[in-house]
Structure 1
Amino acid sequence: MSEITLETTAASSRQVANTRKKRSKTALIVFIFVWLVLIGGGLTFAKLYTDQMQRDITADIERQTAAQISEMQKAYDGRIAKMETTYQSEITQLKEKVDALNELLTFAKDNADTKTDNSNKLYTQLNEVKKQLDELKKSLDVLK
């Protein structure tokens, strides 16, 4: 009987060892699976978070850029309006000078001899002023 008991005990200890090995392998597989799920979930949430941060930063930059463009447009419009006003006043002054020269020219024609050179000088001055007036008009048109 002792041989039978020894065989039964040996068989039962082998069976317990095999069961422990199977449990150990199963536990290891479950442990690795849980870690892979945790790592995969962490990577997924990290990707989602970085995408959301990127969208937020992009939207913020777009808002800031739009504000800066608006400010620059206002400053540009202000400068153009100022230059236009300046050119308009210069054109008005030149028109006044042309009118004054025309009056002088008319007066000089009425009072001058046929051989005098004064009318030629006045015509020359008048032409120069007209050229300056045309240049200012061209500059104003370019600015518009």
Structure 2
Amino acid sequence: MQAGAGQTPARRSRRRSPVPFLIAWIVIIMMGTAGAWLYSEHMKQQITAQIEAQTARQIAAMENNYEQRIKELDAGYSSQIAKLQSEVDSLNELLTFTKDNASNKTDNSNKLYTQLSQVQKQLDELKRKLDMLK
């Protein structure tokens, strides 16, 4: 019987297995990783919702601004078209009057017709611009 100094053969020192300790650490690490992932997904959803709301507000504001500008331009072009139309009508009346009263004065008639043609071109251009805005 060989017994070491202060050791009895019946009492051996038992080494504990490191497996439960390692398993516990692996479980803790996995739980921490899962918690971090869940938190990051939650934060991502919150940030996405905030950005979507902000974008929707900005788009609505831009749409309102755009519609207001279109209405202002439409009103401006409509008034210009009405003004030009009245000028065209008065020039037509003047041209008709001139043709009726002086058939030998073709220079005045040609000048009026040229002016009428220019005003009609401006009216057509304004109508085309108004149609493009709509």
Structure 2 length normalisation: TM-score? Answer: 0.89
Q: Where in structure 2 are the equivalents of 1:23-38 lying within 5 Å?
A: 25-26=16-17, 28-38=18-28
Does the alignment pair 1:70 with 2:53? no
Q: Where in structure 2 are the equivalents of 1:104-143 lying within 5 Å?
A: 104-143=94-133
For 1:32 and 1:14, the matched residues in 2 are separated by 31
Does the alignment pair 1:94 with 2:84? yes
- Once the two structures are overlaid, the 10-residue window that deviates more, 84-93 or 32-41, is 32-41
**Counterpart position of 1:21:** 14
Corresponding residue to 1:55 among 45, 52, 76: 45
For 2:119 and 2:35, the matched residues in 1 are separated by 76
Sequence identity, in percent?
49
Matched residues, number? 132
Distance 1:110 1:21, change over 3 A: same
C-alpha displacement at 1:13, in angstroms?
2.4
Gaps of 5+ in 1: 1-6
Q: Which of structures 1 and 2 has the bigger CA Rg?
A: 1
For 2:96 and 2:111, the matched residues in 1 are separated by 13
Distance 1:15 1:47, change over 3 A: farther
Gaps of 5+ in 2: none
Structure 1: which 4+ aligned runs deviate by more than 6 Å?
A: none
Distance 1:115 1:97, change over 3 A: closer
Distance 1:112 1:83, change over 3 A: same
Which AA in structure 1 matches 2:50? D
Which AA in structure 2 matches 1:31? F
Which AA in structure 2 matches 1:61? I
C-alpha displacement at 1:107, in angstroms?
2.0
**RCO (CA 8 Å, sep 6+): is it higher in 1 or 2?**
2
